[in-house]
Amino acid sequence: MISTARQIPAGVARLLVVWPSKAALAMLINPSLLFPISLAALAFFPPDYVAPPFDRLMLGVLCVATFWHMLLTRSAVLFLEPVVVPLALLALISIASAATAPYEQQAWSLLAAKYVVPLVMFFVARYVFRDDKAVQRFFIAGNILLAYLVFTAIASLTGADSVVFPHFILDESIGRHTDRARGPFIQAVANGTALTMLALLAWYYWKRRHFRGVLAALFAATLPFAIVATLTRAVWLAFACSFALVTLNSKDRAARRVGVFGASVAMIGLALLLAVPSFRRTIVERAEESGPVEFRLAVYRGAGAMFQERPLLGSGTNSSATQLRDHVQGYRLESAPVHNTYLEVALEHGLIGLALYVSSLVMLLRLGRRLPKQSSPSSPFLTDEFLLIWRALVLVFFINSLFVIMNYQYINALLFSVAGMIRAQEARVSPTPAYSLAHR
């Protein structure tokens, strides 16, 4: 019998089977290769987008790969880190509260985005980023995602919708702020926060390379346009404050020059945009818009009255938004989002929850003081010079949290991933075996 089956060419077999298998095996053996992919996946699955949970699947694969690597290398299995104790306690309180209505899928999803995912990413980063190669791969992956977000934002600003990908970004039935650059987060504040945080990381990456090359100049020239494209005042404020902090306090002349160059580009770009009637009308209307401010003030007044009813323990995870609706005067609402992370935590979990959340941010600010000194070109990639960038990252998170509820899993995961990376690098200088629950 003559077989009619065709043999697959060796080159095609290598392309479709061998190389992907080797790449998958390398990621399982070395979780630092898988970490940036898993983190980036969190950016493309916002809460309002109905899709298979590929982001959570990637997170699970990352956890399995990390645990497998721990077993192979006989490393510590778990670390007791004081920096995340407040957030972990708040997560436990939230889980206990959500358990009173266990079938509320959205409540569990938001709980995971706010607390569980960032905690998991912290502990994985704490283990994964122990060497310079892993840290640099993380920064390079961040630069790639930043380039994509900048490109998408500028495309939205100029009306080039045909090049925006994925296409659900343009779907007006999903998310909010369809008239702004909202990126894969389908929310302008989340997109602007991610742009600013990734830009700060890119700043440090290019600073380590003395801001050489076309890519560094392109980064400084295009970023301000992407920030303007979000048309969000909270984003503009956080971006201006964070880069002013970094520029004015940097000891590096090249960094200060780049900061001044970026500010000049921003002012020139804004002047050019204001010269175009359609852009001028949009930007001026957004800057002068008072409707959202009045609505938020009404919500804040209602939240204050609601908080006084249960100031210590709060109203619980599943009921704060619906109960707040009854306290807001002058508006008829199905539910009332509070548009403030700290106020939402206070309404849900009272003063105890608010104290834990604020303590978590304070603990984050204390990180980085034990990073290795920048003494020579051969020093580790992450040194004490990163401390300024880290504080700017926390500042960006803090400012934007005043105007939105930080339910964005990528933003939370990014912040705590960098925190875990800092702890991993600090441990290279001054190990703290007392925090370890398992020994090598």
DSSP state letters, 170-181: G-TTSSS-TTS-
241's CB contacts (< 8 A; 6+ apart) are 395, 396, 399
Reported residue count of the chain is 440
Q: Check if the beta carbon of residue 353 is closer than 8 Å to that of residue 345.
A: yes
pLDDT tens, per residue, the chain with 440 residues: 444 444 555 555 455 545 555 555 666 678 888 999 999 999 998 776 777 788 989 999 999 889 888 887 777 655 578 899 999 999 999 999 888 877 778 888 889 999 999 999 999 999 999 889 999 999 999 999 999 999 999 998 888 888 888 888 888 888 777 788 899 998 999 999 999 999 999 999 988 877 777 888 888 889 989 998 898 889 999 999 999 999 988 888 877 887 787 788 778 877 777 777 777 777 776 666 655 677 777 888 888 888 888 888 888 876 666 677 767 766 666 555 788 899 999 999 999 999 999 999 999 999 988 888 875 566 688 888 899 999 999 999 999 999 999 999 999 999 999 999 999 998 877 665 444 434 44
Which candidate, 324, 328, 367, 364, places its Cα nearest to that of 348? 324
Cα separation of 141 and 388, whole Å? 21
Report the C-alpha gap between 155 and 157 in whole angstroms: 5
Paired with 436 in beta bridges are: 79
Of 185, 145, 148, nearest in space to 48 by CA: 185
Cα–Cα distance between 175 and 376 in angstroms, integer?
48
Contacts of 247 (CB under 8 A, 6+ apart): 255, 256, 259, 260, 263
Short-list 125, 157, 165, CA closest to 367: 125
Nearest Cα residue to 230 out of 183, 293, 168, 280: 183
Query: Would you state the pLDDT for residue 152?
Result: 95
Residue closest to 380 by CA, chosen among 144, 202, 134? 134
- Predicted pLDDT of residue 153: 94
Q: Are 32 and 137 in contact (CB under 8 A)?
A: yes
Q: CA–CA distance from 223 to each of 66, 76, 200, 385, 397 (Å)?
A: 34, 41, 11, 22, 18
- Which one, of 415, 425, 435, 418, lies nearest residue 369 by Cα? 425
Q: The tokens 């920048």 sit on which residue?
A: 374
